[in-house]
Amino acid sequence: MMGQSQKISSNIVVAVQGGGSHGAFAWGVLDRFFENGLEFDAVCGVSAGATLGAMAVQGFVRGGARGARADMARLWDRVSASHVFAPIQNALERWMWGWDIGREVGNTLAMHSLNAALQFFTPAQLNPLGQNPLRPMLSDLLDIEAIRSPGAPRLFVSATDVETGSARIFTNHEITVDVLLASSCMPTLFPTVMIDGRAYWDGGFTGNPPLAPLLSMNPKRLMLIRAQSRTRAGVPGHTNDILNRLQEIAFQAVVEAELSRLPAHIDFTEIHADLALSDLSASSRANTDREFLDGLFRAGRHAGADAGMTAGAV
């Protein structure tokens, strides 16, 4: 990763998938890589992957690998404390079950209730004030000056243009809180994000994440960190499970198409979360309990170690 500290290895680019709370797996992978002295020239992400990438870039500019690890950890500390990926979950919990129920059971019931509510209510009804709980958190954490500094690693963030259905790629000098909100905007939960007069939704709809910006740098190595399940055993039977699996398939399809056209001279490393996510429902993307996030973080660190990526890998 190019920055203010000495460069150890060069021409490595990283693609980080989104996936709500499942992004804690990608956090663990990157944390292990930084611990091992690996550095990247560019990061591309969507949704949680975009925000994680932004924290890694700004942290590296401010304090090298240690700074990157600290800023990524700070992000997930805030995610856990504020339950930002489940904005309606707490309200449903209070309304349906009170606070005497066990936290794990309460989370499961609340998330299933949220899934059901999304089938019957519009985003405006569920979120009448049009608030996005990510905004105050990102406003506190994002260091735009560091991300836009001349020595910063390249950061690519993707969002989906609602009207054209195409991806827009934002780079370092364009990164703002609104850009990160746009990249993570699930329209059934959060208000559409307007940038330059255009409406944007989650970048995962058009690439999870798009690889073209990274490939345009003609890298020696591309690393893809998957934070969503490629495979799930069994056929879903309930409507919510069917819709969730359809979303997973759709979000993976675009990146699979890009990978099928990957130039032969590029070394490709894939770190996937299939084992870590195998027993989790898709609704667990909204689970921000500390124990749950820490478990995915540890799984990511283990997967990062297994990938064997260390300083001097290229």
State both tokens at 289.
Answer: 């309990």
d(CA 144, CA 209): 22
Angle of helix 23-35 relative to helix 48-82, nearest 10 degrees, comes to 110
CA angle at residue 62 from 61 to 65, to 5 degrees?
Answer: 70
Q: What is the mean pLDDT of residues 76-82?
A: 92
Residue 23 predicted with pLDDT over 90? yes
d(CA 184, CA 193): 10
* Cα separations in angstroms, 23 against 66, 83, 98, 164, 295: 20, 14, 29, 27, 12
Neighbours of 36 (CB within 10 A): 17
* 228-246 per-position pLDDT tens digit: 777 777 888 877 678 777 8
* Cα separations in angstroms, 199 against 118, 153, 165, 179, 286: 21, 28, 10, 11, 24
**Is there a contact between 19 and 47 (Cβ–Cβ < 8 Å)?**
yes
d(CA 114, CA 93): 10
Helix (H, G, I), strand (E, B) or coil at 59: helix
- Indicate the pLDDT class of residue 131, thresholds 50, 70 and 90: low
d(CA 29, CA 305): 8
Residue in the structure block whose two tokens are 């001349």: 150
| H-helix or E-strand spanning residue 73 | helix 48-82
Check residue 128 and give its pLDDT: 52
Q: What is the mean pLDDT of residues 23-32?
A: 97
- In the chain, DSSP assigns E strands to 12-16, 42-45, 154-161, 167-170, 193-195, 198-202, 221-225, 267-271
Beta bridge partners of 305: none
Q: Any idea where the domains of the chain sit in the sequence?
A: 12-96+129-312
Dihedral angle, C-alpha 53, 55, 60, 66, nearest 10 °: -110
83 versus 67: which is more confidently predicted? 67
Domain boundaries 12-96+129-312, CATH class: alpha beta
* 188-231 per-position pLDDT tens digit: 878 899 999 999 999 988 998 999 999 999 999 999 999 877 77
d(CA 290, CA 288): 6
Helix, strand, coil proportions of the chain in percent (round to 5)? Answer: 50, 10, 35
